[in-house]
Chain A
């Protein structure tokens, strides 16, 4: 009997409010559960409706033993779903090709089976494969999108590929630069003047190839590439180090004497540059702004009598730097072609004009000494470099990376 009142207590007395609360809680959680299931149902039915819509709107292609049916397809630009039915007697893959490049593919479709494949396609004409490699290919015509078509992917996404490719190129050049400078330090150590001179040229070219990005590492760039003019005591200044210090010894003093320490420091800095390059996170605008600055800087240096005061190998440097800049334009070409259709051809032409000016001074596989280039020819080269720099500004503006052309320095 002792327990009876306790057992009864939930029914009344001091515990009554908690029972009410419990009811409320149960009712409340029931309601929430209903809401949650409704949300869940809505979300899943939305997903399945979307799927059904995709399958329903799918462009059907049947592949027989000898061909596609139909052999000719036309779809609007943007996202299209294709439903591929294999009516041949072997497993096959179905591909959309742009030239020889695969744009999208679905592999291993078994006989009798239909598989869907979604592709986001730009306007143009593509080939479609139809079973056996020897079977004739079908044509896929993609017409320009309507105004109300699906909007393009976020612009930033479009830069991932070019940025990654540029990073690979920079890594390659930084690796080459580190290799050449450590070989150079060894040649200096061995007092091999001829070999050291040749390796200096190699190191110089590797650095020119990564020059559009060099100012991302301003401290290293100063240590690696400062000229004697940048120092109070010029060539005799103890702070004068890097590439040009080594150049001064090899080409002005004609000796490796006194170059051991500068050559070793150069190799160490090149190694550090190589390491930092691996962790670089490059922004899209830096690809073009660095290139534009480099071209203007090269034009300015040239007007001052050249950057390679002792080796006089400026023309080779200029060619390598211009190639690096044109390489950036090439990476961005597919985007530029859409944003400003005439621009890539103009950059090509301006690049070719510069290369032609330089080609007049070709000497075997290399170039003549910069000393042999007359003042008016130097002026022409400087003007061509400036034009290329302006082109890169225009490119940046066309791609929405900078607000306007020349105003961004």
Chain B
């Protein structure tokens, strides 16, 4: 009998859960975290502009070693704020497209931005011919900063951004295809996770107001902690180990919590009433 009551309770809560997917968060409660998120994005963009300046200066000065060192940490700022940065399709293509997005891959003249310079620095192993790409990159990054400044952030893109970042990690980072020339994927990886965690942390107090979300929040916290715990093993003084150093087992161990996080975080929009 005890068991049947338990089953009953489970079945009821399951059916209620299915019927009542939307929690009672007042739309106006979303304003402050979205404003805070814009402040975060603005700071990251300021840092991105400064880091891109140092990076492109090094490229133009022909300082190969310095440019290689600056590459990954400069990009990290972009990777943290990708949910907003990639809303500008033209600039996203110019700054962050991969060779695969272009018909003639690495040889395509429209292939520009960070990955084009990465290809030069890490594969051709030279800064020769990269100056025009450096100039264009700097101009595009400045343009991005100006456009984001004037942008009213779409609430559903902000809240949906946490899941989008994790999906990006799951789809392209675990395989190591993003930074295929420099193998600095772990830096991007950490930046995507940081960006997602920022969004999640800003909206967590709202989600926590509803006791029903307790288990959800606990699970998400635990999965973020799992990912961080694996990544921290590969931290070095000035960044991360090369991605090709990661054991197969650790790549697999990352995939689990990353996929679960992507799935769980995608529920945030619904939980916050932003369908």
Using known A-B contacts A32-B8, A161-B152, determine if residue A168 contacts B30 with beta carbons closer than 8 Å: no
Q: Kindly report which residue of chain B lies nearest to residue A131, judged by CB atoms.
A: B101
- Which secondary structure characterizes the binding site on chain B? helix
Interface centre among A101, A107, A133, A134 (most CB of B within 10 A): A133
Whether the Cβ atoms of A164 and B103 lie closer than 8 Å is no
Within 8 A of A (CB), among B258-275: 273-275
Report yes or no: A102 in contact with B27, Cβ–Cβ below 8 A: no
Would you call A90 an interface residue if the criterion is a C-beta within 8 Å of the partner chain's C-beta atoms? yes
Give bound CA distance, A4 to B200, whole Å: 65
* Interface SS of A by simple majority: helix
Q: Does B198 contact A (CB under 8 A)?
A: no
- Total number of A-B contacts with CB less than 8 angstroms? 130
Within 8 A of B (CB), among A103-138: 105, 107-108, 129, 132-134
Give Cα distance in the complex from A105 to B101, angstroms: 15
Contact of A43 among B4, B15, B172 (CB under 8 A): B15
Quote the shortest CB–CB distance from B51 to chain A (angstroms). 22
Q: Which residues of B110-158 are within 8 A (CB) of A?
A: 110, 151-155
Stretch at the interface among A152-160, A198-206, A234-242, A297-305: A152-160
Interface residue B31 (Cβ < 8 Å from any Cβ of A): yes
0 or 1 for each of A32-57: is its CB under 8 Å from B? (1 = yes): 11001101101110110000000000
Known: A39-B15, A101-B87, A101-B88. A167 touches B28 (CB 8 A): no
A283 within 8 A of B: yes
Stretch in A23-31, A338-346, A383-391 with 4+ CB within 8 Å of B: A23-31
Q: Does B204 contact A (CB under 8 A)?
A: no
Q: How far is the CA of A7 from the CA of B19 in the complex (A)?
A: 47
Interface size for A (C-beta < 8 A) is 49
Bound-state CA distance A153–B30 (Å) is 15
In the complex, which range does the number of interface residues on chain B fall in? 35 or more
- CA A129 to CA B86, docked complex, whole Å: 14
Contact with A along B1-39 (1 / 0, CB 8 A): 100110110011011001100000001101110110011
Please report the C-alpha to C-alpha distance between residue A165 and residue B149 in the assembled complex, in whole angstroms.
10
Complex: chain A residue closest to B172, CB-CB: A108
Enumerate chain A residues within 8 angstroms of B92, measured Cβ to Cβ: 102
Q: In the complex, which of the residues B5, B110, B154, B164 contacts A133, with contact meaning CB atoms closer than 8 Å?
A: B110
Q: Which residues does chain A contribute within 8 Å of B88, judged by CB atoms? A: 100-102
A164 to B87, CA, bound (A): 18
With A44-B18, A108-B171: A159-B27 Cβ-Cβ less than 8 Å: yes
The CA-CA distance from A227 to B165 in the complex, in Å, is 52
**B274 A157 Cβ-Cβ under 8 A:** yes
Tell whether A165 pairs with B100 under 8 Å between CB atoms, given A134-B110, A160-B31. Answer: no
Is the C-beta of B97 less than 8 angstroms from some C-beta in chain A? Answer: yes
- 13 residue pairs of the A-B complex, CB under 8 angstroms, read A25-B1, A33-B4, A37-B11, A39-B15, A40-B14, A42-B15, A102-B92, A161-B34, A164-B31, A164-B34, A167-B32, A171-B35, A282-B31
The 7 closest A-B pairs by CB, nearest first: A164-B34, A108-B171, A43-B18, A36-B11, A167-B35, A40-B15, A39-B15
Given contacts A101-B89, A132-B102, A159-B27, 8 further A-B contacts (CB under 8 A): A29-B8, A39-B12, A91-B100, A133-B110, A154-B27, A160-B30, A165-B38, A165-B151
